[in-house]
């Protein structure tokens, strides 16, 4: 059981560092309302956002956040 704790803890740290890196690589969404009024949301990259690097980073953020939460819950059961 101790080996599983060590493996789960190591995976949790790896997902934590990966999540931090992916979030820091994303661009800020500072355009806000002025970007929508000016028509910035109707660009080619706005329509095909899932295929862009920003869309991939958002997808990886969601996946790594979900894995981080699941591992944290599993690890909390091991520590009881």
**Residue 24 maps to a domain:** yes
**Residue 33 maps to a domain:** no
pLDDT value of residue 23: 92
pLDDT value of residue 74: 86
φ and ψ at residue 31, rounded to 5 degrees: -65, -45
Domain count, the chain: 1
**Residue 37 maps to a domain:** no
Please state, in angstroms and rounded to a whole number, the distance separating the CA atoms of residues 40 and 49: 13
pLDDT value of residue 46: 57
Structure tokens at 78: 């091991």
pLDDT value of residue 42: 53
Domain that holds residue 57: 2-28+50-78
Q: 75 and 12 in contact (C-beta within 8 Å)?
A: yes
CA angle 65, 26, 55 (to 5 degrees): 75
CA–CA distance from 61 to each of 13, 20, 21, 51 (Å)?
15, 9, 9, 15
**Residue 41 maps to a domain:** no
pLDDT value of residue 62: 94
The residue ranges of the chain whose pLDDT is under 50 are none
pLDDT value of residue 51: 72
pLDDT value of residue 44: 57
């Amino acid at each position: 059981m101790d080996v599983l704790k060590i493996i789960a803890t190591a995976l949790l740290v790896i997902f934590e560092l990966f999540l931090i890196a992916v979030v820091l690589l994303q661009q800020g969404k500072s355009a806000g309302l002025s970007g929508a009024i000016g028509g910035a949301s109707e660009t080619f990259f706005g329509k095909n956002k899932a295929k862009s690097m920003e869309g991939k980073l958002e997808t990886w953020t969601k996946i790594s956040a979900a894995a981080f939460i699941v591992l944290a819950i599993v690890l909390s059961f091991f520590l009881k």
